[in-house]
Each structure stands twice: as structure tokens, then as C-alpha cells.
Structure 1
Amino acid sequence: MQVRRFRLSFLYAVPIGILGGLIGLGGAEFRLPVLAGVLSYSVRQAVPLNLAVSLVTIAASLAIRGSTLSFSLVIPLLPAVLSLICGAVITAFFGAAMAGRLSNEQLERIILVLLVLIGVVLIVEGFLPQQIPALLPPALGWRIPAGMLFGLAIGLVSSLLGVAGGEIIIPTLVFAFGADIKTAGTASLLVSLPTVLVGVVKYASRGAFTDRTALSNTVAPMGVGSVIGAVIGGMLVGVVPAAVLKVTLGVILNISAFRVFHKAKSHD
């Protein structure tokens, strides 16, 4: 079973990483159904494991971007980035604690709803233009409180799904704050790192990572496969239109979420 999990963790992570790299995301929302459905982890195990893999992929992505891109373009976005972080780390902490108090059925229902919402967001985003004027006024009096409110939602989704939150952070930065897509991708990693780190630390304090075999046989190969896939996906950007991919992946995410978590809920 452990050898099977090791192989499947890597084999599934690579294509998910490629698809995520093609649309500028980490793919964590697609890893969660794999962890729960294919690798047979309970939902309480799958979420923190997914969060640990997300931490590995964020760190690797930041290192890659730091060697190839300048972070100077993010400086104008710093007020938005810092306000997003402030909101996100608060709910990342309390979200992990809340997940521990929910029953399996409640957690599965919440995960199903959140994954479906993310799938819908991907589909809608596929039909939107890549660059639109910022929806928020440029005044900090608007942007900082709005950023904190968005951050609260991002941190909650991150801690309950074990995701980096890029599927929410990037559209927020692009459409609410007027960032270009490349800068938003880099800024998203800066928001995700402390958010995911807080979630991992909180889950660790609750004993979520005491099973060392899960770390070595699932987190490690899935983290390596995700990074390899993301690099390949980044090199293939433009081969398939991102809009087409987002719509397709949004549909696939909805189908897989219903198959895994609706089925699990109905069997409780």
C-alpha cells in the first residue's frame, strides 16, 4: 500500500503540476480529490497533507521566480499584498482549528462546496479578459480594508482545503487591484507562503503530521512531482489557450469533487 501511494503520488502530481503551471496555479485544488479518492486518505488526513505539499511547491516556485524574475514589479502592490496577508493568516489559524472541530460529514460538505465554487470561478475566469481596470479605487482607504476582507476568505479556503489559495488570490489581484497577470502570480506566492505556513504549523500542533510514512510516501513524491510538473507547465505556456484550459479544468474539478466528496458524504 505504501509503495503504491508513493508511485501514485508522483504520477498524479506531475500532470496536475503541468496543468497548474499552464494556467499559473499550483494545482492543489486538484490534488485534494486525488488524496481522498485515489490514495484513500480520510478527509482529515488529506487536507493537512495537501497543505504540506502546497508549502513545498510555494517555496520551490518562489526560488525559481526569484532567480528569473525581479520582485520590483510587486512593490506597487505591497499595500494590497500586506493587507491580504494580514487577513489570510488570521483565518488560516482559526480555519485549521475549526476543521478539527467539524465532523467528517460537515468537513466533506464544506470541501465539496468550496471545490465547486473554485471550479465555477475557473470557468467564469476563462471567459473574462486577462486585463481589466481595477475595480477598487486607488486610495489606500479602500484597498487596505478590502484586501483584509479578501484575505480572510483566502485564509479560510487555504486551511480548509489545504491549498495555497492562488485560484482566489490571482483573480483578486488582477480584477480588484488591477495587477497584470505575471505580477499577480508572483504576489500570490508572497501571500500564500505565510498563509500556508501558519496552516501547516497549526495542523502540526494538532498532531496532523505524526504519521511519518505519509510524509515520506505521499508529501515528498507529490511535492517533487508538483514542482517538476509546474516547471514543465511554465515552459509550455501558450501551447494551449489559458482560457480554454481554465474552463476545461473547472468542469473537471466540479466532476471530481462530486465523485469523491459527494460519494463520501452519502456513505456516512
Structure 2
Amino acid sequence: MRAPTRNGKSFVAGSLIGTLGGLIGLGGAEFRLPVLIGAFRLGTLEAVILNKAMSLVVVTAALLFRGGTISPSILAVHLDVVLNLLAGSMVGAWWAAGHAITLPRHWLNRIIMVLLVGLSLVLLSEAWAGVHDGSAPLFEAEPLRWLAGLVAGLGIGMVAALLGVAGGELLIPTIVLLYGLDIKLAGSLSLMVSLPTMIVGFTRYARADAFAVLRQERALMVWMVTGSILGAAIGGMLLGLVPTGLLMGLLGVVLLVSAVKTFQHAH
């Protein structure tokens, strides 16, 4: 594939994924990973590392964009929630990224396929049941709530590191249900958890030979990130035009099919 064609294809793919992600409040990294492997023929570990780098840029941009919606002073009040989840997620990301480097590729393919299928089922369940604004924390006892947040953060950090994603589809419902917070506030808090978690995983991946993909695929990354940020902005402006539940259900099915098809035949 010629470079201009490949660059254009990556920009279009990033824009479409970013738009769909923006419509439901996600970064779209879950959908980028099968595209990087299936359409652009990257190796699995290389695709995860490239996806992680793009997610870092997109999440940073999203956090800056949301600064005008929810003030930093409000976020500071709930810093304990962020620190609670980070205590688990950073450990999980470090552990999972370290093991992903040494895993045989066929095992990494299988694990990633299972995780993507699991995320698709999360999207489908949220489309069916919905994620409502929190009213009360799941556990009234603070030590129990802290322990649950630590365990949840650990699992989310592992998933984020293995897929190269921000983990918003797991963090947002966790914050709403476990801490009883508003879903819009949960969206901003999830970004505050995602950014340090991804940096930890990204630092761990720097030890892998596959990290060279960032230099080899610089053009692909730049064009897809540009498209993703543009798409996220468009998706945010179109928010409300498409029923969120319907869209999440559709995207859940798309992710399920693409994950199975991509990783069954992953090279």
C-alpha cells in the first residue's frame, strides 16, 4: 500500500472511530486495536504499543477538552476516588505489560480476543441496562469501599495495559456504581485515572523490542491520532442525535465480531 493511501486510510479510520467513541463518551481504542492488526497488518504486541501511544494523546486531549465542563476544583474534591483506583490500576498495568512482553504471540492473541469479547459484552449490557447517575455508594463502610476500589483498579489496569486502551468503559460504571457519583463527573475522573495508568504501562513496554514500532509507524500514528481527535470533537457535537443505548448495542456487536474475526486469524 502506497504511503499517501495508507496515511489517508489511517486518518479516515481514526476519524470514524473517534466520532463513534465521542458519541458514547469513549476514546475508541478498543476499536482501533482490531483495525491496526486486521487492516494495517501490525503484529499484536506492536499494535498494542502503538494503540497505547495513541490513547495517551487522545486521553490527554479529552481531559483538556473536559476542563471547561467540570472545573478542577470539583475534581479535587473527589481526588480520593482517583487515588483509590490508581493504587490498584498502576500495579495492574505494570504487571500485565511486563507479562505481555514475554508471552508467546499466540497466547497474547487469545488473551486479547477474550478481553475484547468481554468489553463487547460490557457495552451490550450497558446498552441494555444503562449506566445511571449514582445515588449512594455500593458499600457504606469506607474500608470495604476502598478495598473494592483497589481490586477493581487492579483488574482495570491489567485490561488497559494488555489492550493499550484507556479503560473508560470499565472505569465509568465502576465509579458510578461503587462511589455513587454522577456519570459526567465519573467521565472526567476516569480520565484522571487512565492517564497515569497508561503512562505506567507505556513505560513498561519501552523495554520491549516491539517498542520500535513507534518509530517505524510514525506516520500511521500521527494521521490516526489526528483523525481520532477530530472525530472525538465531532462525536461530542453530535451527542444526543443518536440514542446512546442503541449506539452502544451496535458498537458492542461490531466489537464482538471484529475481535473474533481479527484474532482468529492474527498473524
User: Could you say what secondary structure the match of 2:212 adopts?
Assistant: coil
On the 8 A contact 1:170/1:181 being kept in 2, the answer is: yes
| Paired AA for residue 48 in structure 2 | V
On the 8 A contact 1:173/1:179 being kept in 2, the answer is: yes
1:29-58 deviations in Å (ceiling 9; x for gaps): 000000000010010110000000000001
Matches within 5 A, 1:51-200: 51-129=52-130, 130-134=132-136, 136-200=138-202
TM-score relative to the length of structure 2: 0.94
On the 8 A contact 1:9/1:221 being kept in 2, the answer is: yes
User: Could you say what secondary structure the match of 1:253 adopts?
Assistant: helix
Note if 1:259 corresponds to 2:261: yes
Aligned residues: 265
On the 8 A contact 1:136/1:142 being kept in 2, the answer is: no
On the 8 A contact 1:5/1:217 being kept in 2, the answer is: no
Shift in alpha-carbon separation, 1:73–1:126, aligned structure 2, 3 A: farther
Percent identity at matched positions? 46
Note if 1:242 corresponds to 2:234: no
User: Could you say what secondary structure the match of 2:265 adopts?
Assistant: helix
How far did 1:256 drift? 0.5
| Paired AA for residue 138 in structure 2 | L
What is the CA–CA distance in structure 1 between the aligned matches of 2:56 and 2:256, rounded to whole Å?
A: 24
TM-score relative to the length of structure 1: 0.93
Shift in alpha-carbon separation, 1:212–1:154, aligned structure 2, 3 A: closer
How far did 1:250 drift? 0.4
What is the CA–CA distance in structure 2 between the aligned matches of 1:231 and 1:199, rounded to whole Å?
A: 26
RMSD of Structure 2 on Structure 1 (CA): 1.6
How far did 1:127 drift? 1.8
On the 8 A contact 1:80/1:143 being kept in 2, the answer is: no
What is the CA–CA distance in structure 2 between the aligned matches of 1:25 and 1:19, rounded to whole Å?
A: 8
How far did 1:177 drift? 1.6
What is the CA–CA distance in structure 2 between the aligned matches of 1:218 and 1:148, rounded to whole Å?
A: 36
Mark the runs of 5 or more structure 2 residues left unpaired by the alignment: none
1:151-196 deviations in Å (ceiling 9; x for gaps): 1011100110000111110111112221211101100100000001
1:183-239 deviations in Å (ceiling 9; x for gaps): 011001000000011111111232433245444222211111111111111111100
User: Could you say what secondary structure the match of 2:211 adopts?
Assistant: coil
On the 8 A contact 1:209/1:215 being kept in 2, the answer is: no
On the 8 A contact 1:131/1:174 being kept in 2, the answer is: yes
What is the CA–CA distance in structure 1 between the aligned matches of 2:148 and 2:81, rounded to whole Å?
A: 9
From 191, 204, 208, give the equivalent of 1:206.
208
How far did 1:95 drift? 0.9
| Paired AA for residue 15 in structure 1 | L
Mark the runs of 5 or more structure 1 residues left unpaired by the alignment: none
Note if 1:13 corresponds to 2:50: no
1:94-143 deviations in Å (ceiling 9; x for gaps): 11110011111100100110000000000101122423544522332122
On the 8 A contact 1:154/1:165 being kept in 2, the answer is: yes
